[in-house]
Amino acid sequence: MKDRFNLNNRIALVTGGAGLLSSQHSNAVLKGNGTLILVDVDKKKLNFFSKKLNKNLKQRVYSFVCDITNEKKVINLKNKLKKKKLLPDILINNAAIDFKPKNTKFNNKKNRLEFLEINQLRKEIDVGLIGAVICTKIFGTEMAKKKYGVILNIGSDLSFISPDQNLYKDSKKKEVDQTVKPVSYSIVKHGILGLTKYTANYWPKKNVRCNLLAPGGIMNNQPLKFRKKLNKLIPLGRMAKINEYEETILYMISDASSYMNGAALIVDGGRTSL
């Protein structure tokens, strides 16, 4: 019987390849015996992570520094991959700028809607949304030519619900100084859902599928107070473990999900079900 989870002879490109969730994408591709290409703008982190993966693997892990918000640079990357016979069959649009709570009043304040820095908003949309459009346009077009491709967009539970700002609330601070999840994250994660549905209906006759994974929060040394608040919002009572999405990702990028197209798979411990 054919192993439909097998990615042998498949090439997967992951944007934001040096980020937290990238390790799960990478492990999913490698568990399926696929070839992995990591792309990130942070050369130092990218080299460290790719060397770490290559050290104990038979499969080759490739890494390329590229700013996905720059269309010319992505086209150059595509041409480089084409020469190396590494054009991807699978694209994982993972790159995004996520909010990390800060302790300083300045950083907390500038994320509030009242004081939102529009240039920062543009930067986050450029990376998380425009970058995904550029990569979909360039690599998706190549997939359509080959008449095979899988595009996996990475959303969030916040692609479906609004952030609960009480998670960040500090009773010792005035309202104007309270930390909030910025509006930029909601815009990007809702937008990537729209991109998913659009793409799923753009190349279906070319055998190019597009779906969205909407993960919940992952345990990553967050403050205990924050975790306790969030755990109360999740029916399973906890955040995701660091490697808990790998099998779901492998399913979504392999032929095991061959009839899944335009879907959003929410894996959040039940948070959005409430």
What's the total number of domains in the chain? 1
DSSP one-letter string for 182-207: -HHHHHHHHHHHHHHHHHHTTSGGGT
Looking at residue 91, its pLDDT comes to 98
What's the pTM? 0.95
Give the CATH number of the domain where residue 242 resides. 3.40.50.720
Tokens representing 270 are: 């039940």
* Model pLDDT, residue 56: 64
Please list the pLDDT of the chain residue by residue as tens digits (274 residues): 568 999 999 999 999 999 889 999 999 999 999 999 999 999 999 999 888 887 766 567 999 999 999 999 999 999 999 999 999 999 999 999 987 765 444 456 788 999 999 999 999 999 999 999 999 999 999 999 999 999 999 999 999 999 999 999 999 999 988 999 999 999 999 999 999 999 999 999 999 999 999 999 999 989 999 999 999 999 999 999 999 999 999 999 999 999 999 999 999 999 999 8
CA atoms within 13 A on the CB side of 124: 19
Write out the residue range of the structural domain in which residue 184 sits. 11-273
Residue 111 lies in a domain: yes
The β-bridge relationship of strands 264-267 and 61-65 is unpaired
**Which is nearest to 193 in space by CA: 158, 167, 221, 147?**
158
250: Cα separation from own chain's centroid: 14
Q: Are 191 and 129 in contact (CB under 8 A)?
A: yes
Residue 205 lies in a domain: yes
The reported pLDDT for the residue numbered 73 is 98
In a domain, 68, yes or no: yes
Q: Is 198 a domain residue? A: yes
In a domain, 57, yes or no: yes
Under 8 Å between Cβ of 236 and 270? yes
Give me the helix-helix angle, 131-146 and 183-200, nearest 10°. 20
Asked if residue 231 is part of any domain, the answer here is yes
What are the backbone dihedrals phi and psi of residue 42, each rounded to the nearest 5 degrees, phi first? -95, 95
Query: Which has the closest alpha carbon to 239: 183, 140, 157, 129?
Result: 157
What DSSP state is assigned to residue 269?
Answer: T
Are 122 and 149 in contact by the 8 Å Cβ rule? The answer is no
- 87 part of a folded domain: yes
Q: For 98, how many CA atoms within 13 A lie in the half-sphere containing its CB? A: 14
DSSP state of 30: H
Crossing angle of the two packed helices 22-31 and 246-253, in degrees rounded to 10? 60
pLDDT number for residue 101:
63
End-to-end CA distance of the chain: 40
Q: Is residue 193 part of a domain?
A: yes
Whether 175 and 169 have beta carbons less than 8 Å apart is answered as: no
